[in-house]
Amino acid sequence: MKQNKSILITADIDESLYEDLSKDNIVEKHGFINIDFNKNLNWHFSIEKAIFTSKNAVLSLLENGNYGNIKKVYCVGEKTKALLEENGFNVVLNENYSEKLAIELIKSVGTDKIVYFCGNKRKKHIENTLDPKKIDIVEAYKNSVNPKFYKKSFDYVLFSSPSAVISYISISNSVKSIAVCIGDSTGDEAKKYFKNILISDQSTFEGLINFTKKHINE
């Protein structure tokens, strides 16, 4: 008989995903990162092109509710794209990772200025790839660590960002687990502490959960 696995999810995920993983496993979750939205994202002029690399950047903008027209949007992740389109934004390019979006933007941006809505702990791929004269960086939100100590070691610990890894490690949680990560950047951070790393081939929480379930069942 298959033994249930103990799993820690280091983010606040949708309850349906949590319940799905909990059917055959012992699952705990804790949001190791706090998100604080920028309350001053207000303007009344038109933006030709904008970049969003996370849902949090979009949610921050929507929460402010008083912003000008954005004509074309470039984004990272299917969930980010879906949220943008649900709220009437014109998404012209979507990639799974910021590294790939940065490469594609070189071909697409042209001479136009582009506004990058992001967080304070963002990856630097976008701004390091594009001409700094062509990009305005707007910090739409800030994230900070929200660690919690667990005496036990889990079979799997799921991470969605490098910041979540740093928060988890900051109070000496066990690194005997298998770290399951979204993206190479998260994986690279986890490799500093964990011996066993798995990197999901999907950039969403749903993909991360399905990837973990598949590995457990192999």
* pLDDT digits 0-9 by tens, 54-81: 889 999 999 887 666 889 999 988 888 9
Domain 35-141, CATH among 1.10.357.10, 3.40.50.10380, 3.40.50.10090, 3.20.20.70? 3.40.50.10090
Output the pLDDT for position 85: 94
Instruction: Report the percent of the chain where pLDDT is more than 90.
Output: 49
- CA distance linking residue 181 with residue 187, whole number of Å: 6
Report the candidate in 74, 110, 101, 212 with the shortest Cα–Cα distance to residue 155: 212
For domain 6-32+146-217, the question of CATH label 3.40.50.10090 is answered with yes
Asked if 128 and 105 count as a contact pair (C-beta separation under 8 A), the reply is no
Which of the given ranges, 23-27, 42-46, 163-167, has the highest pLDDT on average? 163-167
Asked if 156 and 134 count as a contact pair (C-beta separation under 8 A), the reply is no
The answer on pLDDT for 119 being more than 80 is yes
The answer on pLDDT for 167 being more than 80 is yes
| Mean pLDDT of the 151-169 span | 94
Query: What mean pLDDT is reported for the chain?
Result: 88
| Mean pLDDT of the 143-171 span | 94
Output the pLDDT for position 66: 65
| Mean pLDDT of the 88-99 span | 89
Q: Where are the domains of the chain?
A: 6-32+146-217, 35-141
> Binning pLDDT at 50, 70 and 90, where does residue 152 land?
very high
- CA distance linking residue 63 with residue 35, whole number of Å: 13
